[in-house]
Amino acid sequence: MTRYLPFAALLLLGGCSSSSTWGWYVIDPTTASGWINIKFLVSGMGDTILISVIAAAISIALGLMVALPALSHRRWLRIVNRVYVELIRSIPLLPMLFWVFYGLPIIFRSMGLNIPIDPFWGAIITLALSDSAFTAEIYRAGIQSIPKGQHEASQTIGLSYAQTMRYVILPQAIRRILPPLANQFIYIVKMSAFASVIGMQELTRRANELVVTEYRPLEIYSLLIVEYLVLVLIISAGVRWLERRMSADERI
């Protein structure tokens, strides 16, 4: 591997010096047109973040609702959970996106409902749905890591199932749940790029549009990757901070 590194470096340097391979002018902030291009690309950040945050919030709520039946002693409820998780987990994101964006409105219409799905909500629904199978598994693992004795002690002091979850189990399980849940957010941010396909003007869509007019895919997609890298690195730092805080809290 290391053998090839010098060659790669050579290639890159050579590329930079000859303008036929590299043309950083498209995103050169010192020129007026380069600066306009950069602003156009980076302004997709808002929608990428917005889509991701809303999808994550829905997934966090949906995941808990999907996870709870998995913990039931009723077999059919556990089966409902399994079917949901296995089904959702096995659908690739892009087909699911097409199904939600192009298919779901037809179902709504056939039910006499007039609910249009725009690219924004189409992307959010798809991301939340797809992610909820994973958050459900995170909740399940976290809740199941709490010893059976905690449930039993709660029962013997008269707590209902909902009270046991709310006051005893979830506050303890949250320490195991939050870090991987935050980690899932990275997955959502990356997968939000698919929203570009249905016309959402987020980071990837803008890069694509600029490539079409400027014919500079190498530079523009390089910047695109850096944009995602910055986003993900910030989230990772947040996850690590959360992990440290959760494990420092010795009581729980």
The rounded distance, in Å, linking the Cα atoms of 198 and 204 is 11
In terms of CB distance, is 92 or 249 closer to another protein? Answer: 249
In what helix (H) or strand (E) does residue 72 lie, and over which residues does it extend?
Answer: none
Q: Report in angstroms how near the CB of residue 146 gets to another protein at its nearest.
A: 10
Instruction: Please identify, using beta-carbon distances, which residue of 118 and 152 lies nearer to another protein.
Output: 152
Residue 106 or 250: the one with the smaller Cβ distance to another protein is: 250
CB of 37 to another protein, least distance (A): 52
**Least gap, CB of 150 to another protein (angstroms):** 6
Q: Phi and psi at residue 13, in whole multiples of 5°?
A: -60, -45
Nearer to another protein, 103 or 147 (CB): 147
Q: How far is the CB of 73 from another protein (least distance, A)?
A: 10
Torsion, Cα 191 197 199 203, to 10 degrees, reads 50
Least CB distance to another protein at residue 68 (A): 18
From the DSSP assignment, how many helices (H) and strands (E) are in the chain? Answer: 12, 0
The DSSP string of 160-212 is: -HHHIIIIIIHHHHHHHHHHHHHHHHHHHHHHGGGGGGGT--SHHHHHHHHHH
Closest to another protein by CB, 225 or 252: 252
Whole-angstrom CA distances from 53 to 49, 125, 185 are 6, 12, 8
**For binding to another protein (CB under 8 A), which residues are involved?**
147, 149-150, 152-153, 155-160, 163, 167-168, 171-172, 250-252
